[in-house]
Each structure stands twice: as structure tokens, then as C-alpha cells.
Amino acid sequence: MSQRNKLQKFAENLAAPNVFENFDTKNPQLIGQHGLEVDMKGKWNELFFKNDNPITLELACGRGEYSLDLARRYPNRNFIGLDVKGARIWRGSQDAINDGLTNVAFLRTRIEIISHFFAKGEPKEIWITFPDPFLKKSKSNRRLTSSWFLKQYKEILPKGAIINLKTDSPELYEFTLEVLEDETEYEIIYENFDIYSAPLIIPELEAKTWYEKLHLADKRLIKFIQIRYLGD
């Protein structure tokens, strides 16, 4: 992608009504449409969605295919895709606008500072769809199911909230199971090394990202872990 195309997409993100961006992790200020500063923490339903429907987050959403698919399937639920890459979010934002989807938004930020943008209990569910598995052991803390990240999710999730991991990485799958063995505030509801070898347990698993379609074409097995938060 040329630098010109990237700059154009970044400009269109700033003009989009469904994109919110943080440009400095040391200053957790969100920028909304037309470059205006906005405070969305605890106010996503009031200020953006204009309803009280439950909010689901998709972490490392890429082009937002999963958020968009779920938004189409469940018009009475709200969805927010998070990713650090503005050009990827641009695709999801434009697709949502073109399809007239008002129950999906996109947040460009680093997930490490997620608690700055959501109040405790505001998101009711998290999807982690084909994230970077960070295969080097030295980068294991960057995996979105590491103990460090699970601690961050506790800051925003209510008791009973669900976290869903969908991945093709056997390393991330096994790592997540090992991490959860030591977690007292999370429990595994369901786990499967090859979800398409049996009937899907929830219809949300029918949604497929661009990466998943590539992995399936390459005969990779798709894995799924569903977790419940047991804390307060």
C-alpha cells in the first residue's frame, strides 16, 4: 500500500462517524469525527449507539470482518472492533457505513490501555479473533490471552462476562489453556482443537475473518476456547 493511500485512509478515518482513535498511549485521549476530542468511557451506548443494548468487543479486529458479521446477525447488540492499524480499521468502517450498520464502531488504540476507554461492566463480551500468536517466548506477554492481558480485561468486564478466542495457532491455543490453569477468576466453558469437526456450539462461530478463510484453504485446524470471568 502506498503512503498516499494510507494517508487518504487516515484522513477518511478522521471524517468517519464510527471511528475513534488514540494516537498517544501516554495520553489516553480519544479523537472522534472531524478530529474532535471525545470522552467515551462509560458513555458508548449514550453517545454513539443511542440505546442500551449490550456491547461486545472484538480485539485485534483487523478489517473488522467479525464485528461486521456479528452486527448484521444481531441488530439488537452493539459491537466495537479494536485494532492498532488505522488502514485495517478504515476497511471495516467503510463497510459498516456502506451497509448502513449503526450498531458497530471501531476504536484504533493499543489494547494494553483498553481500561482507559471502557467503564467497569460496560462491555459484556470479548472476541479475540486470529490475533498475532507472538511465537517467540520472549514476547509471550504480548499474547492477548496472557495473564497480563487477562488482568486488564478484569478492569472492564462484569461478573459472568464471556471471552472467546478463535485461532489457528496450536501454540496460542495450548498457551491459553496453560495460563487458565493458574487463573482463579476465570473458568473454561468450552475448548475444541478443531471446531469444524463437530456441530458448532454457537452460531457466532459461523463468522469468518479474511485470515480464517486463508487458514481453512491451507487446511489448518481452527481452534476455539470460551472463558467466563468469575470476578466481581
Active site residues: 132
The whole-angstrom distance between residue 215's C-alpha and the CA centroid of its chain comes to 19
Residues 109, 88, 207, 167, CA torsion sign: negative
Provide the 10 A C-beta neighbour count for residue 1.
7
Q: What is the DSSP letter of 137?
A: G
Q: How far apart are CA 110 and CA 1, in angstroms?
A: 22
**DSSP E strands, 2-122:** 19-21, 30-31, 37-38, 55-59, 78-83, 104-108
Q: How far apart are CA 114 and CA 120, in angstroms?
A: 11
State the cell numbers at 63. Answer: 478489517
Q: How far apart are CA 174 and CA 184, in angstroms?
A: 18
Q: Are 172 and 143 a contacting pair, CB within 8 Å?
A: yes
Q: Are 92 and 63 a contacting pair, CB within 8 Å?
A: yes
DSSP string for 166-197: EES-HHHHHHHHHHHHT-SSEEEEEEES-GGG
Q: Are 47 and 133 a contacting pair, CB within 8 Å?
A: no
